[in-house]
Amino acid sequence: MHRYILKRFLMMIPVVFVISIIVFFIIQLPPGDFVSNYAAQLEQDGESLNQQEMERLRQSYGLDQEWYIQYGKWMWGILTEGDFGYSFSYNRPVMDVIQQYATMTIIVSLASMIFTYLVAIPIGVYSAVKQYSIGDYIFTSVGFIGMATPNFLLAIILMYLSFVFLGDPMLGLQSQQFIDQPWSVEKVFDLLKHLVIPVVVIGTANTCELIRVMRGQMLDEMTKPNVLTAKAKGLKQGKILRKYPMRAALNPIVSTIGWSLTSIFTGSTITAIVLNLPTQGPVMHKALLGQDMYLAGTWLFFMAIFTVIGTLISDILLAWLDPRIRSERKGM
């Protein structure tokens, strides 16, 4: 097992390296660059840049070089100095911009992931055990509605209801009076209050999908011979469920961690824009639109790292849950 983990970890390095090249190349594909986008914004404000000024800016930013030269300098700075480049949009180092929004992004994303798994797994088990009951029909209906409703629409509905019943649409993650204040008990409670809508909105779609997956897997596993044999021996239903069908049914749930882990860095971009959340999503959306290549490239680079790490974690958890997978890993 240790050899397998080490082998997978070593394989991650060239994978991330290749992804970083592809990402940096794709960022360069749209016509124009940051300077041309900046000039277009100035024209909208009634100002302008002549061609000489634009060329001077390109030279100062290094945008007059080929994309692979820019990539080489960017990657060399990362490997030798931990320097991820300079954000043209924010006039600050890329890591300063990312660190500014990292804490709130991680809080929102982890809270959404915890909400998703804590709600989806028990409801999925209940719906399978109580198949065709009133509760099963209710959860199934809610699940279909949740999967069919766009996140941004649900966010608008919840903001409206919050404004009608509480007098506050709960925009952002802090009330205005707490934004620049040091952390206190009151500020923490205010954050928790503002987290409710983002967590429900971001977590709903995944929760509803995982409920359906968990229910289907449980129904399939509950008809397996080992479960029927355990019932014939007179074992309690709770023990049977925990020991056999639940462990097997969790396999597809655990396998989604690799995809879910990337949400820690994005914070659900569209929902964050609608709810005015100070997370990474809107920042990176702006970077992609403005062709702020080092900020956008770093964001996508981190997403690739999170994806491969999440996939490795999923594989390890699957091996822990399923003895059949453990036996296969021992042979590797």
Extended strands (E) in the chain: 86-87, 92-93
Q: According to the model, what pLDDT value does residue 243 have? A: 79
Residues paired with 93 in a beta bridge: 86
Domains and CATH numbers, the chain: 100-279 (1.10.3720.10)
Q: Over its length of 332 residues, how does the chain's per-residue pLDDT go in tens digits?
A: 677 677 777 888 888 888 888 888 888 887 777 888 777 777 777 777 777 878 887 887 787 788 888 888 888 888 888 888 888 888 889 999 988 888 888 888 888 888 888 888 899 889 988 888 998 899 888 888 877 888 888 888 999 999 898 888 888 888 888 877 888 888 888 888 889 898 888 888 778 888 888 888 888 888 888 888 888 888 887 888 887 888 778 877 777 776 666 665 555 778 888 888 888 888 888 888 888 888 888 888 888 888 888 778 777 777 776 666 555 555 55
* Residue 146 · residue 205 · CB < 8 Å: yes
Q: According to the model, what pLDDT value does residue 332 have? A: 52
* Residue 172 · residue 159 · CB < 8 Å: no
CA distance 57 to 42: 14
Q: According to the model, what pLDDT value does residue 134 have? A: 92
Per the structure block, which two tokens stand in for 315?
């594989």
CA distance 315 to 11: 14
Number of other CB atoms surrounding residue 158 within 10 Å: 19
SS3 172: coil
Q: According to the model, what pLDDT value does residue 265 have? A: 56
Looking up tokens 């016509």 gives 31
Using alpha carbons only, how large is the chain's radius of gyration in Å? 24
CA distance 156 to 274: 8
Q: According to the model, what pLDDT value does residue 325 have? A: 59
